[in-house]
Amino acid sequence: MNPAIGYAAVAGVSAVTALIGFYGLRVSRTTSDFYVASRTVAPWWNASAIGGEYLSAASFLGIAGLIMVSGIDGLWFPLGYTAGYLMLLLFVAAPLRRSGAYTLPDFAQSRLQSRRVRNVTSALVVVVGWFYIVPQLHGAALTIRITTGLPSWVGAVAVVAVVCLTVMTGGMRSITFVQAFQYWLKLTAIAVPVIFVLLVLTAGARPVSDGGAAFSTTLNTVAPAGLYRNLSLMTALLFGTLGLPHVLVRFYTNPDGGAARRTTLIVLGLLSVFYLFPTIYAVLGRIYLPELATNGQADATVLLLPGRLIGGAAGNVLSALVIAGAFAAFLSTTSGLVVSLAGVVSQDLFGGTVRGFRIAAVLSALIPLAVALGTGSLALAGSVSLVFAFTASTLCPLLVLGIWWRGLTDIGAIAGMLTGGILCAAAILAGSRLASSAPASSPLAASTLASTQNPAGFWYQVLAQPAAWTVPVAFVVMIAVSLATKNRRPGGITRIMTRLHAPERPLGQATVPAVE
């Protein structure tokens, strides 16, 4: 690939992102603008912004690579990522907006009237955010290395620099404009090239090699590991979406609970359209670029396929569009995460001021940058799914029970979150050590553990995909400890639950003030 194409695409999307961010500075004046865009974002704008930040490196690059390698089993990822918003629609979106909070720790403190719950929730939000940012920076590193030939660290540093610039200038108001633009850029960047590729193929082109025979079209549901792996993955994706801090904070920007529900419905449609295209890339990549599935470069399928199949100036334009879309994915998701983390850190450490927000934004970006530069890249979709498993085991039970069960107590919430988090993290680390420490000839070797035919594979999957058991354990512990500490139920619980579930007053009437 011509490096000039990569330079032009990255520079272009970065410049447009910065310009939109500067425009946001003109309309961001108050603290509420920086934290929740003054709660005035309309459903279509907000849905586009959510799509922009949710469609991350795992979605733009990782899904196609995973389906290319795994076959039909990889379809669980786009299904789970999209269906998670149905869970949000049913259980969380409107009540969370009615809570009047700025951040998830705000909600935890106002619901349970406990500073200790707030501190634990804040710590978990920061951990989740940091570990979600790291795959975005790995994706940026991969894109820069493949498309320009520059060192990988340049991509990660460039993303952090642009994100810090846009977040510091306009906060949530600015990022809303940026992310809404970037969703439509990403959809265009992934859809237009593959449509051109399909038109070329229907005109009579032939595959350069036949990799179709190696593409799995059968679900891995055989013993011992396949059925458990699929069930656990779907548990992580469905319930994990409910606990993603950068997604939840966007619902605070809607005017009311009804707008939050409409936003979620629109998001379901936007994601459903987007995820059609990585699947097409995966099938075409398996036929035309089969070598990527065996050399560890499957995540580069979306980047390389248009240029490989369409030559000349048209191929260069389509390649530049794909690169721009990929870089927009890293920027938008990282921006959303940095905004959500900055809101939490600034309120807990810097007094909730605009200056504190800006300082917190820099800290929230630099720490995961250091982690990304010091670690190697995993498969993008797989590494993000581990973050979903962690949020499903920690923040999801707090939200679901906090919204729907009057009996939740602060001690119960803390016990459930810590239990789920410790078990999930320990299981993932143990699974990783199990695979990395086994000799190549052992049944526990990394190359054979993922096989559903390997008897040791089931126990490896129990550790590597722990959501199927850590999520129920977190819920059970949270409920059991709350029942054992009934005396710690917050006062005024009827008023709190009414606020979460009662429809808003008609427009123009007084509303309950937000938690500050």
Q: What is the CATH number of the domain that holds 208?
A: 1.20.1740.10
DSSP one-letter code for 204: T
373 inside domain? yes
Average pLDDT value over all residues in the chain: 81
Pick from 292, 319, 297, 146: which is nearest to 208 by CA? 292
Q: What is the pLDDT of residues 338-375, one digit of tens each?
A: 888 988 888 888 877 878 888 898 999 999 999 888 87
499 inside domain? no
pLDDT for 246 equals: 80
pLDDT for 449 equals: 47
337 inside domain? yes
Q: What is the pLDDT of residues 20-75, one digit of tens each?
A: 777 666 655 566 666 666 677 888 888 898 888 888 877 888 888 888 887 777 78
pLDDT for 408 equals: 95
Q: What is the pLDDT of residues 139-184, one digit of tens each?
A: 888 888 888 888 888 889 999 998 888 777 766 777 788 888 889 9
Domain that residue 99 falls in = 3-380
pLDDT for 223 equals: 46
Whole-angstrom Cα distance, residue 183 to residue 178?
Answer: 9
Whole-angstrom Cα distance, residue 403 to residue 109?
Answer: 13
pLDDT for 33 equals: 62
pLDDT for 377 equals: 61
Say whether pTM exceeds 0.75. yes
pLDDT for 37 equals: 61
Whole-angstrom Cα distance, residue 149 to residue 446?
Answer: 30
Whole-angstrom Cα distance, residue 494 to residue 185?
Answer: 45
**What percent of the chain lies above the pLDDT cut of 70?**
84
As a whole number, mean pLDDT of residues 319-336 equals: 87
DSSP one-letter code for 417: H
Q: What is the pLDDT of residues 391-426, one digit of tens each?
A: 999 999 999 999 999 999 999 999 999 999 999 999
pLDDT for 208 equals: 47
Whole-angstrom Cα distance, residue 362 to residue 467?
Answer: 32
Count Cβ atoms within 10 A of the Cβ of residue 260 and give its class: 0-12 exposed, 13-18 middle, 19 or more buried: buried
119 inside domain? yes
14 inside domain? yes
As a whole number, mean pLDDT of residues 236-249 equals: 86
pLDDT for 447 equals: 43
Whole-angstrom Cα distance, residue 416 to residue 45?
Answer: 35
- Is the predicted pLDDT of residue 496 greater than 80, yes or no? yes
388 inside domain? no
**What's the domain count of the chain?**
1
Lowest mean pLDDT among 237-241, 280-284, 294-298, 461-465: 294-298
110 inside domain? yes
What are the Cα distances from residue 472, in Å, to 90, 226, 278, 384, 469? 19, 20, 32, 21, 6
- Is the predicted pLDDT of residue 442 greater than 50, yes or no? no
Query: Are 99 and 111 spatial neighbours (Cβ–Cβ below 8 Å)?
Result: yes
- Is the predicted pLDDT of residue 219 greater than 70, yes or no? no
The model's confidence at residue 511, banded by pLDDT at 50, 70 and 90, is very low
Pick from 157, 179, 158, 178: which is nearest to 21 by CA? 178
57 inside domain? yes
Whole-angstrom Cα distance, residue 480 to residue 474?
Answer: 10
Whole-angstrom Cα distance, residue 421 to residue 470?
Answer: 8
pLDDT for 473 equals: 97
